[in-house]
Amino acid sequence: GPGAAAASWGGPGWRLPGRVLELVFSYLELRELRSCALVCKLWHRVLHGDENSEVWRSLAARCLAEEALRTDILCNVPTYKGKVRAFHHAFSTNDCSRNVYIKKNGFTLHRNPIAQSTDGARTKIGFSEGRHAWEVWWEGPLGTVAVIGIATKRAAMQCQGYVALLGSDDQSWGWNLVDNNLLHNGEVNGSFPQCNNAPKYQIGERIRVILDMEDKTLAFERGYEFLGVAFRGLPKVCLYPAVSAVYGNTEVTLVYLGKPLDG
């Protein structure tokens, strides 16, 4: 396996030049690269020194759909390493309502036109520590409820009727973009953002979500304007970026950005 090869290559007797290492690494998958990064400082530097290196470029070409690389879906993720990471943090095709599917681009959820159903999806990876930011935007009408936020693994991703599914119990926290209400435990936790006549969400507008597991807060930004902290006192559990939608054929895209820029 890569570990054994790594041990022999990384020995003091054989230091491959960085360019050769990069070429070899460019044939490996992410899991193998993680092992390689632990071998020695040189290998770690070759892998993580340049986020646009041939290694990340070829991995991106292999794991990302051409559409994701060609369109502006990932326009706020500047490096190839970041694009690969975003893909691994995208919506899960297995952890969503049966009434939605993830489009070929790998980042966009499509809700089928099913009557009297609310449908959600979680990402593949959740967070129990660190600070994380991601973007969410709606393409197509919001309908009566369109909620973005976070959920534990136990939160339901489908229910009957048109309801604010995200925030309907103690396992999820959501911001309903339709009426600007914050939702948790089946209750409205006030309106957001806390200013008079807050502008209504515009279709296609990217909302940035910021989860801080050290401060236990969830905050939102709109067009680089910080809207404030929406939820405090989040529990120390694994929390997943999530959305819930009710409108037929509406589409929601979610892109993981990494650590918030201000940190």
Query: For position 11, what pLDDT does the model report?
Result: 52
pLDDT at residue 262 in the model: 56
Task: Give pTM, 2 decimals.
Answer: 0.91
Amino acid symbol at 126: G
Convert the pLDDT of each residue in 127-159 to its tens digit.
999 999 999 999 999 999 999 999 999 999 999
| Domain ranges, ordered by start, for the chain | 16-84, 91-256
Residue 13 has pLDDT above 50, yes or no: no
What average pLDDT does range 223-247 have in this prediction? 96
Give the domain 91-256 fold.
Answer: Jelly Rolls (2.60.120)
Tell me what pLDDT residue 263 has: 42
pLDDT reported for residue 126 = 98
In the prediction, which pLDDT does 166 show? 97
CA distances from 204 to 73, 127, 140, 231 (A): 11, 26, 8, 24
Above 90 in pLDDT, residue 195? no
